[in-house]
Structure 1
Amino acid sequence: MQKRFVFLLIGVVLTHSLPAQIPGKSYQNGMVVCAYPDASKVGLDILKKGGNAVDAAVAVQFALAVVHPSAGNIGGGGFMVYRAATGLTGTLDFREKAPSASSANMYLDAAGNIINNMSLATPAASGVPGSVDGMVSAHKKFGKLPWATLVQPAINLAANGFKVTDRLANELNSTRNTFIKSNPGKNYLLKATNWVAGDILVQADLAKTLQLIRDKGRAGFYAGKTADAIVAEMKTGNGLISKADLASYHSIWRKPITGRYKDYTIITMPPPSSGGIALMQLLKSVEKYPLRRWGFNADSTVQLMVEAERRVYADRSKYLGDPDFYKVPVDSLLQTTYIKKRMSNFSWDTATPSSSIQPGIFKGYESDQTTHFSIVDKAGNAVAITTTLNGSYGSKIFVGGGGFLLNNEMDDFSSKPGIPNMYGLIGGKANSIQPGKRMLSSMTPTIVAKNGKLFMVVGTPGGSTIITSVYQTILNVIEFDMEVQQAVSAKRFHHQWLPEQVDSERGALSTDTRIKLEKKGYLIKDNSVIGRVDAILKTGKGYSGGADPRGDDAAMGW
């Protein structure tokens, strides 16, 4: 058996799937990696002005709302993982909440069937936004520079405009007809002719909204003119967000999910993110196996990781939801004995049918579009933030006069038990709709430490593939000795219990590996892109950044 694995290592790792070694430049004083160059520059400028990692994160979040409209936002929500240079850790939950008028069956017709697109492309699809409150809360607790200093760069980008990349131009052109259909009488992100790279995109109404946030802080969004505009937009299509919902929204500081993988400490997001628990389950599931010897994307490596993913996503479907509404069995899910038992019934000879895998049972217990950025400052404080509108450009509906997009996060709830959401994820009671409840998420912002010191900051967009993309990137660095840019660029695969298939980026698996897995019963489907990871690695020379080439992502340091 060992000789077979050695041959696989030579045949697979050396001949096909590993990206070319790209020596990463290291920086001593800090680094920002995010989805758009203009936003990375904003964050870096804040660091150079003496701001800390949280200051830079606030500035990047607002800048992304301007330059990365498909996912950057003030109308959505997200999660932040923080690690101070002293070792202090914390997480901030600024996930959207269900409006007070929502109900468990709100997306079902009289016959109990899901109403097509209601949870995706109508004002009723939107949860109460959390991004602005989250940034206010983060700044209040950890910020150093004045609030106005952090919001102003985004105002400048919106008012003066920025250069559109080829990728963004193509996105805007392909979404044009939907914007027109969903926004009668509005003219946001539209142009008389097609967008081309180098065009200047100006967003005057968004600039005015950001000015209110700059001058009034939280009240600039959750009260006054902006709140009035959000509620008015709700009334155009049976949306549910009220002024009371906006006034009562508050982000929450939560205790991180913290665990060990070999010599590394993993600090990640707790529920209502499913990402942290799932990531720790995945890492613990494969910890005892010789992945390093088998090699990157060798057949045994892929098979083991897929079987772990199959079981973890089955658990996710039943047990994970908003802990303020549902008792999430965190300790039980992360018990080493439980994870070991879950992995004890797969066979190396054949794929485990997902139909035979159900969520685990505990004694006494009753039954894509997102964006991520990683930042480290001169002192070694680190921030990982993943934020989202849910689908690309959210509900595609703009707030009239406000210039920003509404999210369609309500689709992340389980509209009906056993029926998949837009990402094919199955849910149940734990993630049912309730007023004031936060919907379950796959976002997995993560910080890794080693020997008490910062080692890695990582996260990604990608809907249900977020968890597995972070998982693979961490293993690429720890097990396969990849430099951070190489780890981020490496081809990925994904399995989520249901549907019964392994999604694989083209070129991720060698022909030999694919044939071996298919002979064992694995259904493998090609996928063009999985995730857009942005990561920072602490090296002996400083901080090295990995910006995903699947997008316009940029790593900048000093």
Structure 2
Amino acid sequence: MKRQFRVLPLLALTLLAGCKSQSPTTTSGSGVRQGLGVYEYRDEDPSVQPFFSDRQGVIGRNGMVASAHPEASQVGLNILKAGGNAVDAAVAVQFALAVVYPGAGNIGGGGFMVYRGNDGKAYTLDYREKAPGRATQDMYLDSLGNVRPGLSISGHLASGVPGSVDGMAEAHKRFGKLSWAQVLQPAIDLAAKGFALTERDALGLNRIKGDLTTINPGKTYFLKNTNPADTLKWQKGEIMVQADLARTLQRIQSQGRAGFYEGETARLLAEEMKRGNGLITEDDLKDYHSVWRDPIQATYKNYNVITMPPTSSGGVALVQLMRFTEPYPLRKWGWNRDSTVQVMVEAERRVYADRAKFLGDPDFVKVPSDTLMNVDYLKSRWTDFSFAKATDSKNVRGGTIPGYESLETTHFSVVDKAGNAVSITTTLNGGYGSRVVVGGAGFFMNNEMDDFSVKPGVPNMFGLIGNQANAIAPQKRMLSSMTPTILEKDGKLFMVVGTPGGSTIITSVYQTILNVIEHGMSMQQAVNALKFHHQWLPDKTIFENGAFSDATVQNLQNRGYMLEKLTNTLGRMDCVLIRPDGSYEGASDPRADNTARGY
């Protein structure tokens, strides 16, 4: 049995020693804590509003599901009401999302699961995709060693071997209560009978029509009419039926894992790859298996953070961020005030530099997770921090460890009546993955190969830099930023949290947790709250419109921080909080179709 990663809390003086006698300056009027769920933000500008919307959380006592699509959340809730546990509901939601949320929900991708039973025992399941057996380190480079643009992002060569079906089969086999057939049936019904498109569903499918017809010649999947040249567009409320996907799901229902990785579906997938010069074979599919890994567990004040180990980079990074933050009086300074933001950005800068240097598939490379989360190591990373000015990312590299050899995703959270909790983040990588639809099977393939370091020092689609630890190798899992997380407070279940967002996943989860713990927000307020992000390179902090007051922007710029206001949004959080009276607050992100359902 592998040992669990467990990190002891930092002493404030240990980490603050690197700051010497600097005293931060803050603008006036910080946030005011008035008890859990009642948060007031006061600023010198009364028009400043820290929330994306005023959506209220959903309250329930017997179960809660929060996911990216109302149909999927309803499926999960129905499973809970039928006597299923959190894992049964999570499996049903995963397959339902593959039908109703094809941009990220999937059976052609992969993901990570964090599970905490009501007995307090925690488990993590890595069902991340793998590189095909014929993959090579330089497969996306030309004869001169330059990256060939687009090959790792769209088309058949961009896909890794899918892990979602195997992951769900493993999770259900170990923890499920209802029958496999029962938890698959809702997704089959949605595919066979159809479901009503939301406005966002319709816009997404219309947006990718050109890619669908270019990458899938002769196919009509996800097009409104069978004639690919037809200019008709999907409209909100129209019913979309997916007959081939229904049959694929029926094979999984009747044959379990083998219904995807062997037999008819495997043959169709391998033929699709051959047709487009992809690398995945039937042997790759048959050989794929998800992996149970020991969770990272780390304390933050009187909270215990349970999160994913590598192949996810999210867990290590989140713990590092929390450790860097813990000594500072964020509550006193206030939400998104200049000193609060400065500490968080400087932590993010160092954490993402470490991510680039050290993290990869632990089955292939030595990943120094314990050291990266160690008190002394973190202290050494903080010695050049100063409140007086921003650190220059050009002067920040991954730390030194002696002896070491050198944005579309979706998340859902489930808690059942007994207090079992599941946090799952799953993805195709980019929106609609590689845009390849498997002929005869009706589902999108992933473009996860782009999450490898296709060439050291060259950024991927999310701007993330990678190195040799995350180089391509046959059967290797690519590094991920997915950060499904569960928190305990005083030994009891407290929060289930996660989000999509590519490289911004880690920082969005980090901020959402701090919004509740440090700033006294309810779960829904923490989700609604406007967010920001820094990832080492490029050296800039992006933020949602309204996340910073004008005074905060000016103070940060005066210290040398490069700031960029976004025209879009950050995060698509789906979370559950256990309230003091034992009830559940489901919080879904108002930035999209995310929906919480409880009873």
Same fold (TM over 0.5): yes
Alignment check: 8 A CA contact 2:71 2:100 kept: yes
State the partner residue of 1:106: 139
| Secondary structure class of the residue paired with 2:42 | helix
| Secondary structure class of the residue paired with 1:371 | strand
Q: 1:257 aligns with which of 282, 296, 299?
A: 296
- Displacement of 1:344: 2.3
Q: 1:540 aligns with which of 535, 559, 580?
A: 580
Q: Which amino acid aligns with 1:516?
A: N
Q: Which amino acid aligns with 2:99?
A: V
Alignment check: 8 A CA contact 2:23 2:387 kept: no
Q: 1:529 aligns with which of 569, 578, 585?
A: 569
State the partner residue of 1:14: 42
| Secondary structure class of the residue paired with 2:208 | helix
What TM-score do the two structures reach when normalised by structure 1?
A: 0.98
Q: Which amino acid aligns with 1:530?
A: L
Say whether 1:243 aligns with 2:279: no
Determine the C-alpha separation between the residues in 2 that align with 1:190 and 1:359: 46
More deviation in 234-243 or 392-401? 234-243
Alignment check: 8 A CA contact 1:320 1:328 kept: yes
Two-structure CA RMSD over aligned residues (Å): 1.4
Determine the C-alpha separation between the residues in 2 that align with 1:543 and 1:6: 35
What does 1:219-234 correspond to in 2, within 5 Å?
A: 219-234=258-273
Alignment check: 8 A CA contact 1:23 1:483 kept: no
State the partner residue of 1:488: 527
Alignment check: 8 A CA contact 2:27 2:551 kept: no
Q: 1:92 aligns with which of 125, 150, 169?
A: 125
Q: Which amino acid aligns with 2:96?
A: A
Q: Which amino acid aligns with 1:224?
A: G
Q: Which amino acid aligns with 2:414?
A: I
What does 1:17-416 correspond to in 2, within 5 Å?
A: 17-19=49-51, 24-192=57-225, 193-416=232-455
Change (3 A) 1:23 1:410: closer
Query: How many residues end up aligned between the 2 structures?
Result: 558
Alignment check: 8 A CA contact 1:21 1:483 kept: no
Q: Which amino acid aligns with 1:9?
A: S
Change (3 A) 1:87 1:96: same
Alignment check: 8 A CA contact 2:50 2:546 kept: no
Percent identical: 59
- Displacement of 1:172: 1.0
| Secondary structure class of the residue paired with 2:97 | helix
1:206-232 Cα distance to aligned partner (Å, 9 max, x none): 001000000111111001110011111
- Displacement of 1:489: 0.8
| Secondary structure class of the residue paired with 1:389 | strand
State the partner residue of 2:596: 555
Determine the C-alpha separation between the residues in 2 that align with 1:463 and 1:388: 10
- Displacement of 1:160: 0.5
- Displacement of 1:13: 3.4
Alignment check: 8 A CA contact 2:131 2:478 kept: yes
Determine the C-alpha separation between the residues in 2 that align with 1:10 and 1:469: 19
1:457-498 Cα distance to aligned partner (Å, 9 max, x none): 000000000000000000000000000001001000000000
Alignment check: 8 A CA contact 1:22 1:483 kept: no
More deviation in 408-417 or 166-175? 166-175
Determine the C-alpha separation between the residues in 2 that align with 1:502 and 1:485: 24
Alignment check: 8 A CA contact 1:6 1:293 kept: no
Determine the C-alpha separation between the residues in 2 that align with 1:186 and 1:489: 40
| Secondary structure class of the residue paired with 2:571 | coil
Determine the C-alpha separation between the residues in 2 that align with 1:437 and 1:162: 37
| Secondary structure class of the residue paired with 2:96 | helix
What TM-score do the two structures reach when normalised by structure 2?
A: 0.92
| Secondary structure class of the residue paired with 1:9 | coil
Structure 1: give runs of 5+ residues left out of the alignment: none
| Secondary structure class of the residue paired with 1:344 | coil
Say whether 1:450 aligns with 2:489: yes
Q: Which amino acid aligns with 2:556?
A: L
Alignment check: 8 A CA contact 1:91 1:253 kept: yes
Alignment check: 8 A CA contact 2:151 2:158 kept: yes
| Secondary structure class of the residue paired with 1:556 | strand
- Displacement of 1:419: 0.3
Alignment check: 8 A CA contact 1:420 1:427 kept: yes
1:357-394 Cα distance to aligned partner (Å, 9 max, x none): 01000122122110000000000000000000000000
Which structure has more helix as a fraction of its residues? 1
| Secondary structure class of the residue paired with 1:41 | helix
- Displacement of 1:341: 2.1
Change (3 A) 1:327 1:477: same
1:490-528 Cα distance to aligned partner (Å, 9 max, x none): 000000000011111111111111111111111111221
Determine the C-alpha separation between the residues in 2 that align with 1:173 and 1:238: 27
Determine the C-alpha separation between the residues in 1 that align with 2:383 and 2:68: 40
More deviation in 20-29 or 505-514? 20-29
Determine the C-alpha separation between the residues in 1 that align with 2:24 and 2:455: 49
Determine the C-alpha separation between the residues in 2 that align with 1:4 and 1:418: 36
Determine the C-alpha separation between the residues in 1 that align with 2:234 and 2:336: 39
Structure 2: give runs of 5+ residues left out of the alignment: 1-21, 33-39, 226-231
Alignment check: 8 A CA contact 1:17 1:509 kept: no
- Displacement of 1:24: 3.4
Determine the C-alpha separation between the residues in 2 that align with 1:492 and 1:46: 33
Q: Which amino acid aligns with 2:388?
A: D
Determine the C-alpha separation between the residues in 1 that align with 2:441 and 2:31: 57
| Secondary structure class of the residue paired with 1:513 | helix
1:173-206 Cα distance to aligned partner (Å, 9 max, x none): 1111111111111111111421111111111110
| Secondary structure class of the residue paired with 1:517 | helix
Determine the C-alpha separation between the residues in 2 that align with 1:136 and 1:24: 31
- Displacement of 1:2: 7.9
1:390-447 Cα distance to aligned partner (Å, 9 max, x none): 0000000100000000100000000000000000000011000000100000000000
More deviation in 351-360 or 338-347? 338-347
Q: Which amino acid aligns with 1:18?
A: P
- Displacement of 1:116: 1.3
1:145-193 Cα distance to aligned partner (Å, 9 max, x none): 0000000100000010101001111111111111111111111111142
Determine the C-alpha separation between the residues in 2 that align with 1:112 and 1:549: 44
Alignment check: 8 A CA contact 2:79 2:89 kept: yes
Determine the C-alpha separation between the residues in 1 that align with 2:492 and 2:165: 31
Determine the C-alpha separation between the residues in 2 that align with 1:442 and 1:310: 15
- Displacement of 1:346: 1.3
| Secondary structure class of the residue paired with 1:14 | coil
Alignment check: 8 A CA contact 1:8 1:298 kept: no
Say whether 1:469 aligns with 2:497: no
More deviation in 234-243 or 12-21? 12-21
